[in-house]
Every structure is written in structure tokens, then in C-alpha cells.
Amino acid sequence: MKKMLMISYYAPPQLNAESILVAKTLKFLSRHFQVDLITVGEEPEFRTDPFLLEEMGERVQVRRLSNPKPSSRVFRKLYRETVGRLASIDNPIWLRAAETYAGMMLKPDQYDVLYSRSQPGSSHLAALHMKKRFGLPWIAQFSDPWAHNPYHPYTGRKKQVIEGYEREVVEQADKLVFPTQEMLDLYAAAHGHVDIKSKSIVLPHHYDPELYTASVQGTEPAKIRLAYIGDFYGLRSPEPLVKALRVLKERRPDLVERLELQVVGNVERTFHPLLEEAEQQLGMTVQRIGQVPYRQSLELMAQTDVLLLVDAPSDVNLFLSSKLIDYLGARRPVLGITSTKGTAGRLLQEYGWQVHHPDNIASIADALELYLSQLEQQQAHANAIPVDRFSSEHVVGQLAELCVEAMNNQIKA
């Protein structure tokens, strides 16, 4: 079996979206390659979820490199601000440790292929160092934009430096992987001197069908449960949903009084009053559950009548939320409160689900009324949708084929 060196700053047991994707990817990727993973050690920014280690499996050899940060949230914020002023890249201590480890412990003929994931961008910079050192065929996968992220823009000198690093990554990588066509097009436009499209592939996020094994227990017959699995922060706000529910209450108070809204994730403090007022004014139950282990989040999805995808307002949504693919795997009705332009909106509409821009309150209210008054029909539709192309086995199988192609191309060269 061929050997792979994988670089991913985030990995199990950290509980965040990228680490969850890494766990599912490695479960199936390790069936094709012997994988050695270089990642971070303790990461106080995130909770841990031991189940993600189970999902990843025991066949992956893991090397955890330290990136010391304060345990206090207040001091971590000061630490981030200080590092942001002094360094042009994220996680510079960890990056230096990864480069040192490669120089001291790895051998030129030890691996057949190199695979890196981001965010953060330091994963790709560590892989870039190893590409130059060992000349391995390299696959670089971007879950989010790096230098050109519209929600986390860089400015001034820092922007120039990061754009330079990103340019070198897309130049040196043999294959590039993006989760959406919109993100691929963004990179192709930003780095027009590189024929990015000729060496790129769009691979969506994926779900593991084996994880949806818990018995499904729905809500009480008198209750209808809406659920949003994810965080509310910054521009991603519950306000469009709450406004639409207010409109619906005027029209169909009988539906709203039966509702139970679950928010499963972190909610920025600025949004707490909005959800509290919604519960009081609308007469419905609002549960802020907070972040839960990954397996539990899937169980909650499977016990929900309508799942909500809520994104920040945008003209074109470049992103594909990994939880949307988990939603599809749960086989429950999905309502999109997101841009109708972009992968997420296009995908939901392709499967017959309604999608409305966060600013279009009237349309969101109409969609809620339709879903809530036709729950049996909506659930039958969810059961009938073919979503196997998003299974981990299928998507990671394509990734493995891409790695083999890069290896064969290097041999021919």
C-alpha cells in the first residue's frame, strides 16, 4: 500500500467543522493509503470530541506538534492580536515546528504522495516546505478561501504577504481541490497567471451513512421542531428567521404555537435578546442547546421535522457548509435561508427544497407555512432524494483517485 504524508492543522479530537471533515476523510482514505498525519497538539480554542478519533480509526499514524496558547479566553484574544501584528501568517510557532520535524525526522523516499488541507493556511505552508524538500506529488485542498475570504479580509502589507504565499501554493501544488465551483472560479480569477482549472477538481463535503444509526424519536405529536445546527455569529444571524416567524404568526398562529426551535451551536451574545424576545412574543419554545458532540448533532438532525440552513447575506454564496451535507444524510426536510446564487442554494433547489435570501422575509414566511402545513409530504420527499454522491466512500474515493493520478503523472515526468 502506498504511503501518504498528510498535513492538517485541525484534526480529531478537536470539535470543529474542519476536524469533523478530516475524521470522515481519514476513515476512508486510510483504506487506500498508509497515512501519516501531522497536526497540532492541544488546541484550547476548541472543545474535544473523542468520538472523532473513533471515526478516524486506528490505522492513521499521528504526529502532534505543539502550538502553545494561553488557556484563558481573555489572554488567548490578546495572544491572537499580538501574533496578528507581529506575523503575516497564522500559527507561526506550529509552522516552524512542522518544518523542523520534516527536516529532522522525515526521509526523501519515505512517502509517495503529499496531501494538505486548510483552513488554516499554515497547513499548506508546511506542505509547501515539504514539497520543496522532498519533491512529492502534492494535493492541496481548500475548505474555505484563504487570502480572498470575503468574511475575513486582509489589508495592507499583510494582505500582500498572504496573497504571495497563496500564489506559491497554487503554483507548486500538482492538484487543487475546492468544495464549490464558485471557489474554484475565485482562485482562477485571483491567480490568472496559473492555469488553475486544468489541475483542479470540485469535491463536495461528504457524510458517513454509517453514523446515522441511532433510533429516531421525533417530537411529541403536538409539537413541530425546527432546528438550526451551527453557530450564530457576525453576519450570520437568526434575525431573518425570527422576522419570518413573526409574519407567520399573524397569518397562522395555530402553526407557530406548536413550534419548537432548537439552536444547536454557539450563539453570539448580541443575538441572545433576539431569541429570548422571540420566545416571549411568539409563544413558542426556543432552546439554545449549545455545541454538542458530533454524533449527538447527527441524532438531533434525525429527530427534527425541518432543518434550517442559515447563512450570512450575500449576493453569491461561495461556501458549501459541511452541515448541509450532513443534513442531506439525515434525510429530513431542509429550508435554505441563504443566497439563491451559489452552490448551497443551487444544490437545495436541485433537490426540490426551497431557498430564500436572508433579506426576503416574506418568502421565508411563505416557505415556513408550506413546510409546516405539509410535513408528511416534505418528509416523503426527503426520503426519496438520492444523495449517495455525497457519501464519504464516494467522495473520498474520488480524492484517492486524484492522488494516484498525481503520482502517476510524476512518474511519467
Same domain flag for 111 and 239:
no
How many structural domains comprise the chain?
2
3-class secondary-structure state, position 140: strand
pLDDT given for residue 150 in this prediction: 79
Same domain flag for 194 and 283:
no
Give the integer Cα–Cα distance in Å for 263 and 286.
8
pLDDT given for residue 151 in this prediction: 75
pLDDT given for residue 413 in this prediction: 65
Same domain flag for 44 and 160:
yes
Same domain flag for 60 and 156:
yes
CB 208 within 8 A of CB 392: yes
CB 285 within 8 A of CB 112: no
Give the integer Cα–Cα distance in Å for 214 and 216.
6
Q: In what order do the strands lie in the sheet with 285-288?
A: 285-288, 259-264, 224-229, 306-310, 334-337, 355-356
3-class secondary-structure state, position 236: strand
Same domain flag for 342 and 352:
yes
Same domain flag for 303 and 383:
yes
Same domain flag for 396 and 330:
no
**Main-chain dihedrals φ then ψ at residue 189, nearest 5 degrees:** -75, -35
Query: Per-residue confidence of the chain (413 residues) as pLDDT tens digits?
Result: 999 999 999 999 999 999 999 999 999 999 999 999 999 999 998 999 999 999 999 999 999 999 998 888 888 888 888 887 878 888 999 999 999 999 999 998 999 999 999 989 999 999 999 999 999 999 999 999 999 887 778 888 888 999 999 999 999 999 999 999 999 999 999 998 889 999 999 999 999 999 986 545 554 567 899 999 999 998 899 999 999 999 999 999 999 999 999 999 999 999 999 999 889 999 899 999 999 999 999 999 999 999 999 998 888 888 889 999 999 999 999 999 999 988 999 999 999 999 999 999 999 999 999 999 999 999 999 999 999 999 999 999 999 999 999 999 988 76
Same domain flag for 194 and 214:
no
Q: Cα–Cα–Cα angle for 214, 48, 260, nearest 5°?
A: 50
Contacting residues for 16 by C-beta, under 8 A, at least 6 apart: 10, 46
Same domain flag for 219 and 348:
yes
3-class secondary-structure state, position 200: strand
pLDDT given for residue 215 in this prediction: 46
Q: How far is CA 59 from CA 31, 32, 150, in A?
A: 9, 11, 37
Contacting residues for 91 by C-beta, under 8 A, at least 6 apart: 9, 40, 67, 120, 122
Same domain flag for 327 and 405:
no
Same domain flag for 234 and 202:
no
**CATH number of the domain that residue 39 is part of:** 3.40.50.2000
- What is the domain extent for residue 115? 3-206+391-412
Same domain flag for 322 and 385:
yes
pLDDT given for residue 19 in this prediction: 97
